[in-house]
Structure 1
Amino acid sequence: MRNVTDRIFQGAISVFIRKGLQATTQEVAKEAGVAEVTLYRRYSTKENLFITVIKNVLEKKFDSHVLEIAKENETEVFLMNIIEDRLEILSKNYDLVKMLLSESLRGNLANEINLPDIIFSSLKKGLEYHFELKNQTVDIDFCARQLGGIFLSYVVLPNAQPFNKLTLQEKKDIARKHAKAVLATI
């Protein structure tokens, strides 16, 4: 049996993806298989639960192994790897990202859950680290914004098939095309 925190996080994610902040703690408790009072004891409010769960998921997904990827010596390969990694994460978590964008547009998200900031801060760390290792001066903000535009286009604009459902070769081709475009500007 999974521990209570894991069950709460899984249940909360499931319910919040479906209903956003309109979800009730009663729905989350039922989905997690815990008493509603357990949620209140641990998180005191639905908003605290939402912030805790979403921050945990986003930080795990978007901060994961960026600095490892940044150690790649070839800048084009580094950019391809970052693009592939981020597009894979975004497409696998499409429903979560869509819910967060929707709640953000409604003005419902706390400052702690700023999806663009979470994505950009980990991306900037990786870019800074890579170019420091290469002893190369690059406008990190500009580069991060270009990459962010690529990522946003895959979330907002419809694609024939989600990135995570493409073949390995199709993913590499897309990442290479975008990496070359970014490289041309730095």
Structure 2
Amino acid sequence: MRDKTEQIKNAAIKVFINKGFQATTQELANEAEVAEMTLFRKFGTKERLFTAAVKSVVEAQDFLKWKEEAEIKDTEEFLRVLIDNRLNLISQNRSLVRMLLAERLMDSLPEEIDLPEMIFCSLEKAVKDHAELNNLHIDTANWERQLSGIFLSYLCLPSDKDYYAQSEEEKQHLLSDYVASFKLKRE
């Protein structure tokens, strides 16, 4: 019984990545190799299947550790960890994140699986908490926008190699460049 549910969710992710929420239940059933009625019996609606499938992927990610990130004392290290965690998440799930971003732009994502919003909220909380904990007087909204720009550019612009596939040396070089773009001052 559980195997069919997982089989359907895994197939649904593939179809939703390619077609977005516009995918038909027949396409979903075909990919899962089950009858369309099985989809409805297990999930009730296409919306619930979409939510369950995306939620299973989102919950497997460990990017919501913003409290731990915020507590890193050294601001350069904080930025490195923050950027590294999110670039890994985005690059390992590029197609899914792109589809979710497109669905978000069409205002059709349920709040519980709004991955772009989840990434931004965890980013916002981490930056604000880090600034407060370390007595940094920074424009947190500007930092959040700058960080978001890094992530969106990595998601949308072509790159030779996915971030997660880069060597540790390549990652450290890239992270150093990103961190250097922030004005770090303490008061």
CA shift in 2, pair 1:19/1:81, >3 Å: same
Q: In the aligned structure 1, how far is the partner of 2:56 from the partner of 2:14?
A: 14
**Ranges in structure 2 where 5+ consecutive residues have no aligned partner:** none
Alignment of 1:103-182 (within 5 A): 103-105=103-105, 107=106, 109-110=108-109, 112=111, 113-182=113-182
- 1:69 CA drift (Å): 2.7
Confirm or deny: 8 A CA contact 1:120 1:148 kept in the other structure: yes
Q: Which moved more, 1:84-93 or 1:38-47?
A: 38-47
Whichever residue aligns with residue 13 of structure 1, its letter is I
- 1:51 CA drift (Å): 2.9
Q: Which moved more, 1:65-74 or 1:141-150?
A: 65-74
- 1:159 CA drift (Å): 1.4
Q: In the aligned structure 2, how far is the partner of 1:15 from the partner of 1:170?
A: 33
**Ranges in structure 1 where 5+ consecutive residues have no aligned partner:** none
Q: Residues 52-77 of structure 1: CA distance to partner in whole angstroms, max 9, x if unpaired?
A: 43244335436433322333211101
Identity %: 43
Q: What SS is found at the alignment partner of 1:64?
A: coil
- 1:147 CA drift (Å): 0.4
Q: Residues 100-149 of structure 1: CA distance to partner in whole angstroms, max 9, x if unpaired?
A: 233444x2623525443221111112223323332434433221111000
Aligned residues: 185
Confirm or deny: 8 A CA contact 1:84 1:175 kept in the other structure: yes
Whichever residue aligns with residue 14 of structure 1, its letter is K
Whichever residue aligns with residue 126 of structure 1, its letter is A
CA shift in 2, pair 1:32/1:64, >3 Å: farther
CA shift in 2, pair 1:9/1:182, >3 Å: farther
Q: What SS is found at the alignment partner of 1:150?
A: helix
Please name the residue that 1:23 is paired with.
Answer: 23
Q: What SS is found at the alignment partner of 1:61?
A: coil
TM-score by length of structure 1 reads 0.82
Q: In the aligned structure 1, how far is the partner of 2:60 from the partner of 2:123?
A: 14
RMSD: 2.7
Q: What SS is found at the alignment partner of 1:90?
A: helix
Superposed structure 1 runs of 4+ greater than 6 Å apart: none
- 1:94 CA drift (Å): 1.0
Whichever residue aligns with residue 65 of structure 1, its letter is K
Q: In the aligned structure 1, how far is the partner of 2:161 from the partner of 2:42?
A: 40
CA shift in 2, pair 1:52/1:80, >3 Å: same
Q: Which moved more, 1:161-170 or 1:38-47?
A: 38-47
Q: In the aligned structure 2, how far is the partner of 1:16 from the partner of 1:4?
A: 18
